[in-house]
Structures are given as C-alpha cells and as structure tokens.
C-alpha cells in the first residue's frame, strides 16, 4: 500500500484550506462532518464558503496566502487554480511537517480523502490511491445499497454497552463471540426497528447467560476451492471471517488467505513433494488441541476437503477427542481446472463417465487399478501426478488406452498463473518438461481434452 488507511481523531485538529472556490467548498463540507477547526484562506470566496463563514462554521480569511498561515496547523488542503502556488504550499507544508493534500494532484498528496459511507459512528472509507475516482463512486453506490441506513443505531447501541461487556466477560474471545451473536440475531433486529428497550432487555439476558457459559471450540474444515477467490462459497467466507485460528496448506492461494479474519492466528502446515512441513498426524492433533483450548479453528484446504484433502482423517481424530466440527464443501480442483481450461469432464460425444485418481499414494507408490482406469469413453483426472507422470502414461497404455489418447496438464488452475499444456499419452511428459510445468498440477486424460482449444475461454489465445 502506498497510502496507509487510518482514521484521525479530529478533536482539536486545526485544518487549513487554501482556496475558496467550489472545489475547496466540497472539501470544507467533508471536513465539517468531523470535529476539526477549519480555516479558509483566499482573496475571494464562493457563495458556499461565504455562507459557512457567516454562520460561524468556519473561519474565513479574505487575503492572499502567506507561509505564516501554516502556523499551528496540522493538516492542509490546497485547492487554488495556481499550479505554481500549489507546489509552493506543498513544499512549505512538508518542510513544517504538516500533512498536505493538493486537490486533484495525487503526486502532491501526503494523504488522500477516501470515498466515505457515513453511518456515524460507523464510517466506511475506501480508496484507489487517487487513480480511479469513478470506480470508487461505483463501489460506494454498491455499499450504500447493502449497508442498512440504521446501522448507525446499532453502532450507538454497541458503544453504550461496550464497557459493560468488557467488565463482565473476561477474555477477548468471550467478548467477540458474544458480540457476534448479538449482531447476527434478533437483538440487532430490535435495534433496527427502533425498539431499544426490547433490545436492551434481551441483551442483558444474553449477557447474563454468557457469563455462566464456557466457550467451547469448534473446527471448520473449509474447502478453499481451486484458487480463484470468487469461487468460494458464502459459508466458507463467513466461517473464515469468524476464525480465531486458521490452519492452511500450500494449495490455498494468497488471494484467499487475504480474506480470512485479519487478527486470526495463521498456521502454515503445507506439504510439497518430499517435504511435509507438518506430518498429517500432527496436523490432526493440532486441530483437536486448538479447538479444546476454546478456539474456532478453520482448517483451510485447497479444493474440497473430502476429495484427496485428507478431511476424513482429520475429523476421525476430532471425533476421538470429542471436538465439534463442520465440513464446508467446495469446488474441487478437477472441476475448477476443467472448467477454466475448456475441458468438459463429461461430454456425450467423448466421455460417459469421469473418475478421480491420485498420482501419489500414502506409501509413495502409484499402485492403482489401472484396468479400471484405462476404459474407453472415460475421463481420468489425476491429482498430485506430476512426479508419477511417466508411470501413469505407461500404465494406461499397457492396460488398453491408445498412445495417442489426448492428455492435458493444468498448473495453478483458475488463477492468473494458470498454464495449460496438451498432448497425448505418448508425448505429454516431454511437452510438460519443455514447458517447465510445476506443481500444483492436475492431469486430465481422455478424448474431452481435444475440446480444449475450441472451448478455452479463460486464457487469452
């Protein structure tokens, strides 16, 4: 981030605005939503500025700007039509270590004013770093439609009881769980309806119950999908935002990891070829221990937890320890990869069935049911098969598939880093090596691969 988002306490903040045209007036009107003390300096002022000065909302000094006007100021907006003067004021303000913003001149802005959704005391600010103001207006319109106007009442209600909850619930986790239940339930609805007495009565009853309840942990096995964050389910995102701890693997994309709760503890337990950062048995025990300590634990897995995700092994351990859990399915890697590279897994003219297989067994072998896999009119998807690709191709041919059967390899499916190479069982290994294909990679074998060039929509041709 070039601009660090921050909310300033404007109590006793002295702000200077140089210029008094309509552009300056818009900034002054924005500042008036705060508690800042506003001084405007300009030899001439528009009607809006004049009216604000006459009502005593701002101090207007009808004169040319002088460097002495910066004295005792902590923030400066520059909005004159004299570009040289704007640069000069910017340089002087920086020399005095005063935050300065030259309106509509991003390179001369130490700070920028964001687009704001105002539901005081709830304030939402968004910014593009000054490069896309129209996009910001569009996003603000979207936010305005989904955030209840009366959320300000809920903010005031929360402020009223914040210290009470802090005194009666001892830990941060207990307080967070309590407030989440309040904001998700009928207490919030009563506040929105303006029935504050009813909301207060329910709130105090709930708080009393919370004092006598022990916080219990839970594990959520959440499928992160094949990589594109827009393929997450609503439930996955909701639970990711509730997590105290997130245990994630190598196949979870950075974009998805950015969507978990900001202050959640993040524990990496990823596995790569011949390099298990944390053995599976220890991951199982880790999940149980974290939950028994009272945490909401999200086990975030690439793809789907129950398709080569070892989710079954993990919840067996949770059951042994008496830990509550939920499983959140996701778009598995095979489905995501096939869809994003234009290879339908089934097609009436090419494939009447599809089978998923692993290219890497628990004992490091690839001892599969090759006879069952090497069927005509069937699509085969191999997970974790890059290392075993020579064996896979050889065994499929040995058990009846033609050497010219189409095959594809998809790397980093559904992400901007996606790469697809196609060939046949006879030459796909050589093609993959020449292309430098690396994990994470899926292999698709079958006649449907021949449709890739025709149906490919995600990658530029």
Domains and CATH numbers, the chain: 14-113 (3.40.50.720), 151-211 (1.10.8), 218-331 (3.40.1010.10), 334-455 (3.30.950.10)
Task: Determine which of 90-94, 209-213, 285-289 has the lowest per-residue pLDDT on average.
Answer: 209-213
pLDDT at residue 274 is higher than 60: no
The CB density around residue 139, as the number of other CB atoms within 10 Å, is: 15
Binning pLDDT at 50, 70 and 90, where does residue 104 land?
A: confident
pLDDT at residue 276, as a whole number: 56
pLDDT at residue 277, as a whole number: 67
Give binding residues for S-adenosyl-L-methionine as ranges: 226, 302-304, 307, 332-333, 384, 413
Comparing 214 with 228, which gets the higher pLDDT? 228
Which of 126, 371, 329 has its CA nearest to residue 236? 329
Asked if residues 202 and 244 have their Cβ atoms less than 8 Å apart, the reply is no
pLDDT at residue 275 is higher than 60: no
Strand residues in 274-401 grouped as ranges (E): 275-276, 296-301, 324-328, 353-358, 378-383
pLDDT at residue 360 is higher than 90: no
pLDDT at residue 240 is higher than 80: yes
Give binding residues for NAD(+) as ranges: 22-23, 43-44
Please tell me which residue in 202, 266, 271, 394 is annotated as part of the active site.
Answer: 271
pLDDT at residue 171, as a whole number: 87
Give binding residues as ranges: 22-23, 43-44, 226, 302-304, 307, 332-333, 384, 413
For 159-215, write each residue's pLDDT tens digit: 999 999 999 998 888 899 999 999 988 999 999 999 999 999 999 999 999 998 887
pLDDT at residue 361, as a whole number: 61
pLDDT at residue 246 is higher than 80: yes
pLDDT at residue 128, as a whole number: 87
Question: What is the rounded distance in angstroms from the CA atom of residue 93 to the CA atom of residue 76?
Answer: 7
Q: Which residues are within 8 A (CB) of 412 and not within 5 positions of it... i.e. 6 or more apart?
A: 227, 418, 419, 440
Percent of the chain with pLDDT over 70: 97
Question: What is the rounded distance in angstroms from the CA atom of residue 138 to the CA atom of residue 7?
Answer: 22
pLDDT at residue 359, as a whole number: 85
Using H for helix, E for strand and C for coil, what is the string for 159-206?
HHHHHHHHHHCCCHHHHHHHHHHHHHCHHHHHHHCCCHHHHHHHHHHH
Binning pLDDT at 50, 70 and 90, where does residue 272 land?
A: low
pLDDT at residue 355, as a whole number: 97
For residues 76-93, give the mean pLDDT: 96
Binning pLDDT at 50, 70 and 90, where does residue 258 land?
A: very high
pLDDT at residue 273, as a whole number: 55
Please tell me which residue in 69, 228, 244, 249 is annotated as part of the active site.
Answer: 249
pLDDT at residue 422, as a whole number: 97
pLDDT at residue 270, as a whole number: 82
Task: Note if 271 is an active site residue.
Answer: yes
Percent of the chain with pLDDT over 90: 80
pLDDT at residue 131, as a whole number: 82
**How remote is the C-alpha of 414 from its chain's centroid?**
16
Asked if residues 303 and 332 have their Cβ atoms less than 8 Å apart, the reply is yes
pLDDT at residue 321, as a whole number: 96
pLDDT at residue 363 is higher than 70: no
Task: Note if 118 is an active site residue.
Answer: no
Task: Determine which of 212-221, 379-388, 398-407 has the lowest per-residue pLDDT on average.
Answer: 212-221
And the tokens for 70?
């910066």
């Amino acid at each position: 981030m070039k601009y660090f988002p921050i909310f300033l306490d404007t109590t006793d903040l002295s702000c200077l605005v140089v210029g008094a045209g309509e552009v300056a007036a818009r900034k002054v009107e924005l500042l008036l939503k705060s508690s800042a003390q506003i001084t405007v300096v300009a030899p001439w002022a528009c009607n809006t500025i004049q009216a604000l000065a006459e009502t005593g909302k701002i101090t207007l000094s009808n004169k040319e700007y002088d460097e002495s006007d910066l004295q005792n100021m902590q923030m400066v907006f520059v909005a004159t039509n004299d570009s040289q003067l704007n640069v000069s004021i910017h340089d002087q303000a920086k020399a005095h270590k005063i935050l300065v913003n030259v309106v509509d001149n991003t390179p001369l802005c130490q700070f920028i004013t964001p687009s704001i959704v105002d539901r005081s005391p709830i304030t939402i600010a968004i910014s593009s770093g000054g490069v896309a103001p129209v996009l910001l207006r569009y996003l603000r319109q979207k936010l305005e439609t989904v955030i209840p106007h009366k959320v300000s009442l809920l903010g005031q209600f929360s402020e009223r009881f914040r210290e009470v909850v802090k005194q009666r619930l001892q830990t941060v986790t207990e307080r967070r769980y309590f407030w989440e239940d309040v904001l998700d339930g009928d207490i919030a609805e009563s506040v929105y309806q303006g029935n504050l007495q009813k909301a207060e009565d329910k709130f105090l009853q709930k708080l009393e119950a919370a004092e006598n309840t022990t916080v219990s942990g839970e594990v959520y096995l959440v499928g992160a999908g094949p990589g594109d964050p827009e393929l997450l389910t609503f439930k996955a995102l909701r639970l990711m935002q509730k997590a105290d701890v997130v245990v994630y693997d190598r196949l979870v994309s950075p974009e998805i990891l950015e969507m978990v709760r900001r202050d959640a503890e993040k524990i990496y337990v990823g596995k790569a070829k011949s390099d298990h950062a944390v053995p599976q048995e220890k991951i199982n025990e880790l999940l149980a221990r974290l939950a028994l300590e009272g945490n909401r634990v999200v086990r975030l897995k690439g793809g789907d937890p129950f398709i080569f995700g070892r989710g079954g092994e993990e919840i067996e351990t949770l059951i042994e320890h008496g830990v509550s859990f939920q499983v959140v399915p996701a778009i598995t890697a095979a489905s995501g990869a096939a869809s994003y590279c234009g290879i339908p897994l089934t097609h009436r003219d090419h494939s009447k069935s599809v089978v998923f297989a692993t290219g890497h067994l628990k004992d490091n072998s690839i001892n599969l049911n090759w006879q069952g896999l090497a069927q005509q009119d069937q699509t085969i998807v191999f997970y974790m098969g890059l290392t075993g690709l020579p064996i896979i191709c050889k065994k499929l041919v040995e058990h009846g598939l033609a050497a010219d059967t189409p095959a594809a390899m998809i790397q980093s499916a559904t992400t901007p880093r996606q790469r697809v190479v196609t060939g046949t069982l006879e030459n796909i290994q050589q093609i993959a090596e020449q292309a430098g294909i690396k994990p994470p990679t899926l292999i698709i074998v079958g006649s449907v691969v021949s449709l890739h060039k025709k149906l490919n929509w995600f990658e530029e041709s």
